[in-house]
Amino acid sequence: MNYTEQLCKSELISSKTLLFLRIFSVIAHIVAVVLGLYTRRKIFIYQFTNWANTMTTIYSILVLFININYSKNVTISYQRVSRLALRILRVFAPLHTLVTLTFWPFCFKNANLSHGIYDQVYFVFSHGVTLFFLVIEIACLNFRMKWFNMYQQLVIFLYGIVMLNLYHRTGIQVYTFMHLEKSENFKYLFSFFPIIVIFNLLFTFVTVTIRRIIKKQNSKSLK
């Protein structure tokens, strides 16, 4: 099965349902990014939530484009684009999940709500709705997540460098739990690597298990 088929074929839902799912996913992602730009302003590019949402927005747009052409039996090959979309999903879906699970119990109570309802909608979409669509896709598609993904480590390392640079230039800490004021903060950055590795393993295990359960239930219903 090639990259395009991995993204556009599902044994669990119809092609039409998958297409509609992706249309709503694109809408949800655009809402999250637009509201993020409006409510977070200059800090938007420094919040990892927005890194994850921006990348999964790119994924959702790419995969919708691929899906539309695939459903029309367009003969042009989109293997490179499909491979890029898969890579984005494999890297950022687990990171998106980890950020969401961290945000609600630890960060929401101190979140900026100065824009009222716009902030609330932004939080729900960026830390809930967009992830919901991604998880549904992963559960229904035939591709496999990677048990270890070095690109995740590169993303976290790059983000850490950006955070350190921001702190040393302006004194601003986007996330206080990163403790950038400590002299050993560069070493502290590396402590996140095993956390990411372990969480990716857990995320992959859960998605594989869910997919097997769904397939098993689906096969029983067909008997």
Q: What is the pLDDT of residues 171-216, one digit of tens each?
A: 777 776 666 666 556 666 677 788 889 999 999 999 888 878 877 7
CA-to-CA separations, 188 to 7, 60, 101, 161, 194, in angstroms, rounded: 37, 33, 21, 12, 12
Mapped onto helix, strand or coil, the DSSP state of residue 141 is: strand
Q: What is the pLDDT of residues 117-161, one digit of tens each?
A: 999 999 999 999 999 999 998 888 888 888 898 989 889 889 888
pLDDT of 106 higher than 90: no
Contact 71, 15 (CB under 8 A): yes
Residues facing residue 45 across a β-bridge: none
Domain boundaries, the chain: 3-222
Q: What is the pLDDT of residues 59-102, one digit of tens each?
A: 999 999 999 988 887 656 678 899 999 999 999 999 999 999 98
Instruction: Find the range with the poorest average confidence among 11-15, 25-29, 76-80, 110-114.
Output: 76-80
Residues facing residue 141 across a β-bridge: 10
> Which pLDDT value is given to residue 19?
92
> Which pLDDT value is given to residue 27?
97
> Which pLDDT value is given to residue 64?
94
Who's near 142: CB < 8 A, 6+ residues apart? 1, 5, 6, 9, 10, 11
